[in-house]
Amino acid sequence: MTKRYWNITLAEMMEAGIHFGHGTRKWNPRMAPYISARRNGIHILNLTRTARFLSEACDLVFDAASKGKQLLIVGTKNKAADSVARAAIRARCHYVSKKWLGGMLTNWYTTETRLHKLRDLRTEQKKGRLDRLPKRDAAMLKRQLSHLETYLGGIKYMAGLPDIVIIVDQQEEYTALRECITLGIPTICLIDTNCDPDLADISIPANDDAIASIRLILNKLVFAICEGRSSYIRNS
């Protein structure tokens, strides 16, 4: 995998508050190598290490996108959901920004069945067939469509298991992370000072609560993915 320059600066990371960790009482000792100081009762992350691992993550997603591989972005907590959806749409990635349904990847057959149902119901609605059904049946199917769209809308075009999964909050998305580990799917994960850095393939030490921090990390990854997509199109 070729190393590239992604213009990741300490100044922009400081401005986004990426260096602010959790309180010193709420931490995982395995994060010690990624922490540079304590200040006013909170841990301060080492931004040099953040830049290094973010750069490695950008290289990985560029390489994957340049080969036409599928990427999935996961972030379901309120602070991350909108940023995740926007980033994924910009990068033409699949995404989960609402609730992660247990077994979404490990029980792919069931997920695929639900996706077929979602696509069928969308087709029926577009053709106006739902409105021609009895009101009670139409209402039931519309509720089902709304439910499927809410939880599976971001992966409705995912034809199989993703090649790489980007996870915004390790604690919040632990189920998704464990499914990836079980299936051997490479993961990139934002980790705050209360996380385990050894679980993901690439762990990016960063504030996972501040919207500006989440947005900056996603923007760098999205740029790399878009560059990779452009390379794939040029070489096709």
Residues 127, 227, single domain; the answer is no
Residues 25, 112: one domain? no
The confidence score (pLDDT) of residue 161 equals 97
Task: Specify the number of domains making up the chain.
Answer: 2
pLDDT of residue 17: 96
> Do both 99 and 213 map to the same domain?
yes
Residues 194-210 have a mean pLDDT of 95
Indicate if the pLDDT at residue 205 is higher than 70.
yes
Assess whether 93 and 14 both reside in one domain.
yes
pLDDT at position 138 = 82
Asked if the structure places residue 4 within a domain, the reply is no
Instruction: Kindly state whether residues 90 and 198 are assigned to the same domain.
Output: yes
* Tens-digit pLDDT profile for residues 133-190: 888 888 888 899 999 999 999 999 999 999 999 999 999 999 999 999 999 999 999 9
26 & 117 share domain: no
> What CATH number is attached to the domain comprising 133?
1.10.287.610
- 104: tokens are 């979404």
Q: Can you give the pLDDT at residue 3?
A: 74
- The pLDDT of residue 116 is 94
Is-contact 22 195, C-beta < 8 A?
no
**With left for phi above 0 and alpha for psi between -120 and 50, is residue 204 left, alpha or beta?**
beta
Instruction: Give the CA dihedral 56, 60, 75, 218, nearest 10 degrees.
Output: 60
Q: Positive or negative CA dihedral for 81, 30, 219, 88?
A: negative
* Integer Cα distance of 95 and 210 in angstroms: 20
Q: Are 79 and 212 in contact (CB under 8 A)?
A: no
pLDDT number for residue 1: 62
Contact 38, 24 (CB under 8 A): yes
Q: Which domain holds residue 66?
A: 10-105+164-235
Residue 159 covered by a domain: no
CA angle, residues 51, 56, 60, in degrees to nearest 5: 145
We report the CATH number of the domain holding residue 209 as: 3.40.50.10490
User: Rounded to whole angstroms, how far apart are CA atoms 194 and 29?
Assistant: 8
- 38 phi and psi angles, rounded to 5 deg: -120, 135
What is the C-alpha to C-alpha distance for residues 32 and 30, in angstroms, rounded to an integer? 5
Residues 117 and 100 in one domain: no
> Residue 29: is its pLDDT beyond 80?
yes
d(CA 109, CA 168): 25
Query: What does the DSSP 8-state code read for residue 189?
Result: E
Q: Does 2 have pLDDT greater than 70?
A: no
Q: Which of 3-7, 15-19, 34-38, 45-49 has the lowest mean pLDDT?
A: 3-7
Shared domain for 23 and 81, answered yes or no, is: yes
> With contact defined as beta carbons under 8 Å apart, do 97 and 76 qualify?
yes
Q: What is the pTM of this model?
A: 0.93
Q: For the chain, give the number of residues.
A: 236
Per the prediction, the chain carries an average pLDDT of: 94
pLDDT attached to residue 130 = 79
Residues 6+ apart with CB under 8 A from 152: 101, 111, 114, 115, 118
Distances (CA, A) of 70 to 38, 74, 129: 39, 13, 33
| Same domain? 112 vs 72 | no
| Chain segment 51-75, per-residue pLDDT in tens | 999 999 999 999 999 999 999 999 9
Helices 108-126 and 135-152, interaxial angle, to 10°?
Answer: 130
